[in-house]
Amino acid sequence: MSTSPQAHLYATARTPFGRFGGALAKTRPDDLAAGVLRAALERTRLEGGEVDEVVLGNANGAGEDNRNVARMASLLAGLPVSVPGTSVNRLCGSSLDAAMLGSRSIETGDADIVLTGGVESMTRAPWVLPKPERAFPAANAELVSTTLGWRLVNPRMPAEWTVSLGESNEQLQEIHRVPRERQDAFAARSHQLAHAAWEAGFYDDLVVGVEGADVTRDEGIRPDASPESLGALRPSFRPDGTITAGNASPLSDGASAVLLGSAAAADRIGLDPLARIAGRGTHAVEPHRFGYAPVEAAEKALARAGIAWSDIGVVELNEAFAVQSLVCVDAWLARGLSDPEVVNTRGGAIALGHPLGASGGRVLGTLAAAMRADGHRWGLAAICIGVGQGLAVVLENEDAA
């Protein structure tokens, strides 16, 4: 193993993920983020001033999460003013990117302890009103929602790039021939596994409450979901389409935190590492093919970790849509992944929710916990990203080596 510093994951925390307009709707995103930062630190014996940097992901940043939400949240969490903070925007991959950036800081020796994560309140994302190009316009102006997807599009962008996320995935299913029935079955599995994981206590130590909010579990889980019940839903993006509200991730609110540190920081942190960051991968494709981007991102992460798909015991793939998840899994199976059932063994975003800036931290924390619970040495977290990108991280559970 390299003698240069290695980045390890020591602690994670996340809120329950709330429905759009649900139990977390009255909580500001900077307060959501502050809560999980505090929770992650409380799991250690660290003083806040021992954190070298706070790095948080956030996809929208147009409302109460503006003005560098990482800095705002760290101050609200009670960290000393001397602890710097920076916010990362790689849309849906923002908090996974935050962890990747934090791990690089540790590996280069720039930091020993980095507190990462992300936050999104899609409920509280504001409408924006563009400034007029000339003073005193006579025409009406239109408010634009910042909740999700393209807005204020540059007219120079090719039209095929700027179709809706749903239409992009309808095109993906046409290319890869993923029928509606298969998508609904995948979505039902997500709900059933998420419910079973909560019932078994898997998420009890990963999820922390939110002050002032009466919610203890992810709000979107439907234990009674079945391929038949999901099959009765109408298509959302095309009259004859395959994508529905049931086989796509919902609009959500939530926050996640991941504490990273060097091996030398273990005594100060007061915990043994949960996993080592063993490989990272980033990939980009045409903007409207974003759902496929995790395929090559994962290949890069595996190569940098020096392992193959046959070594991977568990995968956490963010389920933006059932169709893009299935397309990625199919591609990985063709490249050596052992079994599709190793993917999202405790449910995924279709059931748990997808608060954009928080989801990367959620998949990374769930991956580390699943690897330890099931005794796997190697695991992979991956996420697709709007405008045609994907990220992946390989973790090693050194206790299983």
Active site residue ranges: 92, 354, 384
Residue type, 73: A
Residue 107 CA to residue 315 CA, distance in Å, equals 24
Q: At what angle do helices 322-334 and 165-176 cross, to 10 degrees?
A: 40
Closest residue by Cα to residue 250 from 272, 219, 281: 219
End-to-end CA distance of the chain: 13
Length of the chain, please?
A: 401
For residue 355, what are the contacts with CB-CB under 8 A and spacing of at least 6? Answer: 17, 18, 119, 120, 121, 122, 252, 253, 254, 255
- Cβ atoms of 91 and 359 within 8 Å: the answer is no
Asked whether 311 and 301 are in contact (CB, 8 A), the reply is: no
Angle between helices 322-334 and 294-305 (to 10 degrees): 40
The SS3 of residue 291 is helix
Rounded to whole angstroms, how far apart are CA atoms 383 and 294? 6
The token pair at 13 is 């925390």
Amino acid identity of 37? Answer: L
Question: Do 345 and 381 meet the contact criterion of CB atoms below 8 Å apart?
Answer: no
Q: What residues are paired with 253 via a beta bridge?
A: 18, 121
Give the whole-angstrom CA distance, residue 84 versus residue 158: 39
Please spell the DSSP secondary structure of 134-192, one letter per residue: SSS--S----EE-SSS--S--TTS-GGGGS-HHHHHHHHHHHHT--HHHHHHHHHHHHH
Could you tell me the CA-to-CA distances from 340 to 233, 296, 317, 380 in Å, in that order?
Answer: 25, 17, 11, 13
